[in-house]
Amino acid sequence: MLKPQTKGLLLDTTRCIGCGACALACKERNKLPKTSDDVLKDELSDKTYSVVKQVGPRYVRRMCMHCVTPSCASACPVAALEKSAAGPVIYHESKCMGCRYCMIACPFGIPKYEWEKKAPLVRKCDLCADRLEKGLKTGCATACPTGATSFGDRDALIAEAKERFRANPGRYNEHIYGIEEVGGTSVLIISDGKAEELGYPAGLDGTAPAFLTWRVLNIIPDIVMTSAVLLGGIYWIRNRRDEVEAAEGSHHETPKEH
Amino acid sequence: MPKFEVPRFTFWRGVLLVILALGTYSTVVRVFQGLAGSTNLSDSFPWGIWIGFDILCGVALAAGGFTISATVYIFNLEKFRPIVRPAILTAFLGYVLVIVALLYDLGRPWNVWHPLVMWNPHSVMFEVGWCVTLYTTVLALEFSPIVLERFKMTKTLHVMHFIMPLLVVLGVLLSTLHQSSLGSFYLIVPTKLHALWYSPLIPLYFFLTALTLGCAMTIVESFLSHRAFGKQLEMELLVPLGRVALLILALTSVIRFADFRHRGILGLPFQATYESRLWLAEMLIGVLAPGVLLAIPKVRKHTTGLFLAALLIVMGVVMNRLNVSITGMERSSGQIYVPAFTEIAVTLSVVGVGFLIFALAVKFLPVFPEHEMKEARPIVVPAGGNVSGQPIRSLPVPALVVVALAFFGAVALGADGVRRREVDPGPPAPSATKPELAAALASFTPPAEIVFPQAPDSPGPASFRHASHVDASAPDCLSCHGNTYSFLGRKEAPPAGQMHDTKHCGGCHDGTSAFAIEADCSPCHKAE
Ligand code: SF4
Ligand code: SF4
Ligand code: SF4
């Protein structure tokens, strides 16, 4: 399903110095207002699509993971969210009706809402889809001075992560977060800590949550057909009895009790 | 048809008026101040009681419609026919009100029709949207004979009677689908919904509880109409409904037990957490108590006993839906949600409007069989056949509902201390010390030198070195980036000749923050 050339990001917390360049570049690219004097204290919101958080001794980015099988896009009743072929999970705002099911569904709590507005929209990182189209890197990857955020093809990023594991024995907790988790993500994380030490949900299943829904939705046509036949059958049998009774002249105006 | 008379002012009518007034006020707030001004919803808690009660409970409470119409039309149990109309009317009203409530909750309610043309068949919400739309139409058609009768449109009436079985089958299918799909909403959040409620079987639970509720609601409605309109009580119909409800309750409990055992969480309800208390309350009120009441034949056949059991089931299902949508989602959100006053007012108004329209419909349309209404006008309580009848009028229904709600609320509040401890995130982690930062800084090479264009009178090009601008003991890129220099467009160096002004190097090299520019050129400009 996932084309090998899909773009993604590799986040390496061992290289992150918490300068916040990514977060500010994100603001710049998306023309978002300043929301905090201290970039590390900022929170994701409709005005902030990417933050750097200090979690224990590490700096960890939070942003949309651009899941391979995104829960948000699966949940959206009007297909306003879509996993594009290039990798980004993009948002068609004119379709959105504001049910906020995407926010419920996202396992990472990423989509944010413009609660204050009268015609609110969902807001989140779109992996700089327009920059990608022009052949540019994402804003955050462009700004990152240390290579803690690197941009590339997902396959190449996975290879790069493995290369870093190999070249720096003992430096990493050798797990690439996002290869398996929730069925894979286009934003991958490597670190010397475990997922829970980074404040990321740990122990996520390799199955995309969306599949849990599809499994049930897929059997619906069968359920409909079977029940239709069943109900129709019951109706036919139960009512035929009356007809037969009527034909035999034993039909009661008020049906029998019990 | 009853003559129009000026309605008398009674206590409950007064209450209704107050609720509707508050609801109107809240509607204005919702329209003019948006969701932020009218709800306590937030990014971490995007669904509140407008979804949890108005939608999830609203749809479930309307389940009487499909339960009863299936019983009568498909299973041909003709004796239930007298209660078909009120059941369909309630279902229809219920769905219309659900849609109205949805408009309050949607951020862009004017796009509510989008799922009909913008398809995402992978979405449960898409399926529910279609089912609710279709089912509401079917209910309107099922209800139409009542209106047609009233206006004596016999021809159309015949057509309607002819296609009725088809409509009913369609209606039953649609209800089955979306009653369970409301549970399927939550299949996609295995890591967010508390294990006491999250289960792969949640669609089945939602369907079974809706079925039980269908029976219970029919019983409750019959009793309420009996009280309000002096309608005759069909105990010989209601008692079997109670028995069916008991059966499904038992079946659901067996499935739930097996499910809990399979998932190895049999101990979870007894861990005295916030969630476990509310789960136990839900089971006690909605399953155990009515189960016991209905299991005793004498109680089941007693008007008060049957009514109480049905009322408990109704409240149990309401608690279930609220637990799934609110209690169960709180811990993972790290937030406690308490509905805003305006949210509550809107919800109460929706219920109030439902009651009002039902009462009006009963008054002006042939919802209940004509002879019954006439017979029962001077409220004489019939004994109800072989059933030990007690005048149900002595039962203070609103008070009962208030008591049960108060109980649920008390459990919630009682567990509040626990909840705040458990749900609230702890104090933020202590901040990293600077040496660690410096160590991190040491492990990377700052970006390359930037060489600026040379001005005509300049001794040589100036170069900017990141390394010399980052203090290893207090590294910070933001003093320049984010204020002076863009991160994305930093390929462009300042134009020659502007380097010294306050927008560029001169911004810091002013003699205070850093050495002044005019004093000596050599630190930056390399002489030719
Ligand atoms: S992280 Fe959340 S918002 Fe981003 S693609 Fe995945 S499910 Fe969607
Ligand atoms: S809020 Fe908008 S984008 Fe999110 S699920 Fe609803 S319609 Fe889709
Ligand atoms: S990819 Fe673009 S939108 Fe997303 S965090 Fe980076 S800069 Fe922001």
How far does the CA of residue A61 sit from the closest CA of chain B (Å)? 15
Between B335 and A129, whose confidence is greater?
Answer: A129
- Cα A53 from Cα B188, distance rounded (Å): 27
The residue of B77, B176, B188 whose CB has the most chain A CBs within 10 angstroms, and thus the best one to mutate to test that interface, is B188
Beta-bridge mates of residue A189: A11, A177
Question: What does the pLDDT read at residue B422?
Answer: 56
Of A19, A120, A204, the CB nearest to B191: A204
pLDDT tens digits, A14-65:
988 888 889 999 999 999 998 988 888 899 999 999 999 988 888 999 999 9
User: Token pair for residue B387?
Assistant: 């059933």
> Which of A 82-121 lie inside 8 A of B, CB atoms?
95-101, 103-105, 107, 109, 112-121
Question: What does the pLDDT read at residue B68?
Answer: 83
Which residues of chain A have a CB within 8 Å of the CB of B482? 20-21, 24, 39
Mean pLDDT (chain A) is 89
Using DSSP, state whether A177 is helix, strand or coil: strand
Nearest to B61 by CA among B403, B310, B402, B300: B310
**Terminal-residue alpha carbon distance, chain B:** 107
Ligand with minimal distance to A122 CA: 2
- Cα B82 from Cα B79, distance rounded (Å): 7
Question: What does the pLDDT read at residue B31?
Answer: 94
Question: What does the pLDDT read at residue A105?
Answer: 95
- Cα B288 from Cα B290, distance rounded (Å): 6
Four-point Cα dihedral B432, B436, B437, B440, nearest 10? -130
pLDDT tens digits, A198-244:
999 988 888 899 999 998 888 888 888 888 888 888 888 877 777 77
Interchain proximity B105–A139, CB inside 8 Å: no
Under 8 Å between Cβ of A64 and A51: no
Eight-state DSSP code of residue B111: G
Question: What does the pLDDT read at residue B527?
Answer: 64
Q: Helix/strand/coil (H, E, C) string of A186-223?
A: CEEEEECCCHHHHCCCCCCCCCCHHHHHHHHHHCHHHH
- Cα A253 from Cα A179, distance rounded (Å): 70
Eight-state DSSP code of residue B115: H
Of B112, B191, B488, the CB nearest to A139: B488
ipTM of the complex: 0.89
Which residues in B367-466 belong to E strands, given as ranges? 450-451, 463-464
- Give yes or no for residue A126 CB within 6 A of ligand 3: yes
Between A163 and A236, whose confidence is greater?
Answer: A163
> Which of B 186-215 lie inside 8 A of A, CB atoms?
187-192, 200, 203
Phi-psi region of B264 (alpha: psi -120 to 50; beta: other; left: phi over 0): left
Residue owning tokens 């409990």: B253
Question: What does the pLDDT read at residue B54?
Answer: 92
Helices vs. strands in chain A: H and E counts, helices first: 8, 10
Residue A257 has pLDDT above 70, yes or no: no
Residue A172 has pLDDT above 80, yes or no: yes
Low-confidence ranges of chain B (pLDDT < 50): 1-2, 374-392, 425-434
Using alpha carbons only, give the angle B453, B459, B463 rounded to the nearest 5 degrees.
Answer: 45
Q: Which helix (H) or strand (E) holds A226?
A: helix A220-247
Under 8 Å between Cβ of A71 and A211: no
- Give yes or no for residue A87 CB within 6 A of ligand 1: no
- Give yes or no for residue A42 CB within 6 A of ligand 3: no
C-alpha to C-alpha distances, B377 to B69, B227, B228, B232, B370, nearest whole angstrom: 27, 11, 10, 9, 11
- Cα B5 from Cα A66, distance rounded (Å): 64
Q: List Cβ neighbours of A130 (8 Å cut-off, separation of 6 or more).
A: none
- Cα A181 from Cα A94, distance rounded (Å): 31
Under 8 Å between Cβ of B195 and B263: yes
User: B76 CB near a chain A CB, below 8 Å?
Assistant: yes
Beta-bridge mates of residue A52: A61
User: Token pair for residue B162?
Assistant: 């002819």
Q: Identify which of A99, A113, A123 to mutate to test ligand 2's pocket (most ligand atoms within 8 A of the CB).
A: A99
Query: Atom 2 in ligand 2: which residue has the minimum CA distance?
Result: A96
Question: What does the pLDDT read at residue B426?
Answer: 44
What are the two backbone dihedrals, phi and then psi, of residue B470, each rounded to the nearest 5 degrees?
Answer: -110, 120
Nearest to B247 by CA among B272, B271, B216: B216
A 10 A CB-CB count for B158 gives 11
Which residues of chain B have a CB within 8 Å of the CB of A71? 188
